[in-house]
């Protein structure tokens, strides 16, 4: 993400409680202990500026949202955003999502995984660095509860198509279900900062959802 686009964080904002550092956790670590209340857990991979975490946490107060972001300054920026909104059901972890899924998350623990506009790693020899690799996708399937959902959006057609293929080959997640573009009336109506940027440039966004096998808990 562009360096110049990040506003300075107000030093008076207390990030404690909102910002955590994965490297400081011992394995095993109970991620649910980061929240005030037990609730269905949703994970966002690569939260960037934190628009999704902030708006989803406000819209669905009965769910807990945990973002993981590798870049320290974005993790801090997101934490400040969550602190300003006093989002008791949202937290940001500074760290590597692949490590979080491999070592920390338990099986059948997660209600939804959100991956929006992951770094594309354009050069073919760098594709192996893409986060949506077979190992990570198998971990997504492992941590998702029955009927849990994987949301994957990107502006890179080749990344979209390869990921759909990888999911079919490496997991038993069902999909892709297509997701319709939502009309926007406000600058914060976009799901993420990158969605806003892509749509304002009139470029396509490729959106899909996948569902883990099994029956979810009964709805009220
Ligand atoms: C292209 S940006 C998209 C940000 C946001 N999802 C959006 O749509 O606006 C990708 C973000 O993922 C983060 N990232 C890349 N690999 C990661 C990893 N393995 N674990 C956690 N964050 C990662 C990057 O630091 C960057 O902030």
Tens of pLDDT, residues 57-87 = 999 999 999 999 999 999 999 999 999 999 9
Q: What is the pTM of this model?
A: 0.96
- Tokens representing residue 212 in the block: 């883990």
Marked catalytic residue, from 14, 119, 189, 220: 119
pLDDT tens digits, one per residue of 100-131: 999 999 999 999 999 999 999 999 999 999 99
Contact 42, 114 (CB under 8 A): yes
Rounded to the nearest angstrom, the distance between the alpha carbon of 218 and the centre of ligand 1 is: 33
Number of structural domains found in the chain? 1
Name the pLDDT band for 218 (thresholds 50, 70, 90).
confident
The CATH number linked to 110 is 3.40.50.150
Domain with 90, as residue range(s), is: 14-211
Ligand 1 atom 8, closest CA: 194
Mutate-to-test residue for ligand 1 from 22, 44, 48, highest number of ligand atoms within 8 A of CB? 48
| pLDDT at residue 143 is higher than 60 | yes
Average pLDDT, the chain: 95
What DSSP string runs through 58-111? HH-TTSEEEEEESSHHHHHHHHHHHHHTT-TTEEEEES-HHHIIIIIPPTT-EE
Q: What percent of the chain has pLDDT over 70?
A: 97
| For range 189-202, the mean pLDDT | 97
Q: Would 5 be classed as within a structural domain?
A: no
Rounded to the nearest angstrom, the distance between the alpha carbon of 61 and the centre of ligand 1 is: 24
Ligand 1 pocket, 98 CB below 6 A?
yes
Q: Which helix (H) or strand (E) holds 146?
A: strand 144-154
Residue 91 sits at the vertex; the CA angle it makes with 38 and 68, to the nearest 5 degrees, is: 115
What DSSP string runs through 150-191? EEEEES-HHHHHHHHHHHHHH---EEEEE-PPPP-SSTT-SS
Name the pLDDT band for 153 (thresholds 50, 70, 90).
very high
Ligand 1 atom 5, closest CA: 48
**134 a catalytic residue:** no
Q: Would 34 be classed as within a structural domain?
A: yes
| pLDDT at residue 191 is higher than 70 | yes
Confidence at residue 187, expressed as pLDDT on a 0 to 100 scale: 86
Ligand 1 pocket, 191 CB below 6 A?
no
| For range 24-42, the mean pLDDT | 96
Ligand 1 pocket, 74 CB below 6 A?
yes
Confidence at residue 118, expressed as pLDDT on a 0 to 100 scale: 98
In order of 27, 28, 195, the CA distances from 106 in angstroms are 11, 9, 30
Q: Would 8 be classed as within a structural domain?
A: no
**Residues forming beta bridges with residue 90, ordered by sequence position:** 65
Ligand 1 pocket, 48 CB below 6 A?
yes
């Amino acid at each position: 993400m562009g360096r110049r686009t990040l506003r300075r964080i107000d030093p008076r904002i207390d990030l404690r409680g909102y910002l955590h550092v994965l490297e400081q956790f011992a394995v095993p670590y109970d991620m649910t202990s980061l929240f005030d209340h037990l609730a269905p857990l949703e994970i966002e991979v690569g939260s960037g500026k934190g628009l999704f975490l902030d708006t989803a946490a406000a819209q669905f107060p009965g769910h807990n949202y945990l973002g993981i972001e590798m870049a320290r300054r974005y993790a801090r920026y997101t934490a400040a955003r969550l602190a300003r909104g006093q989002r008791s059901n949202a937290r940001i972890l500074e760290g590597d999502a692949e490590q979080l899924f491999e070592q920390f998350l338990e099986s059948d623990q997660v209600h939804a995984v959100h991956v929006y506009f992951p770094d594309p790693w354009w050069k073919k020899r760098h594709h192996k660095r893409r986060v949506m690799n077979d190992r990570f996708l198998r971990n997504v399937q492992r941590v998702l509860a029955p009927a849990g959902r994987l949301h994957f959006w990107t502006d890179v057609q080749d990344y979209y198509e390869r990921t759909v293929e990888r999911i079919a080959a490496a997991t038993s997640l069902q999909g892709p279900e297509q997701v319709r573009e939502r009309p926007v009336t406000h600058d914060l109506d976009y799901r993420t900062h990158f969605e806003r940027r892509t749509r304002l440039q009139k470029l396509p966004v490729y959106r899909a959802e996948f569902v883990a096998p099994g029956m979810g808990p009964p709805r009220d």
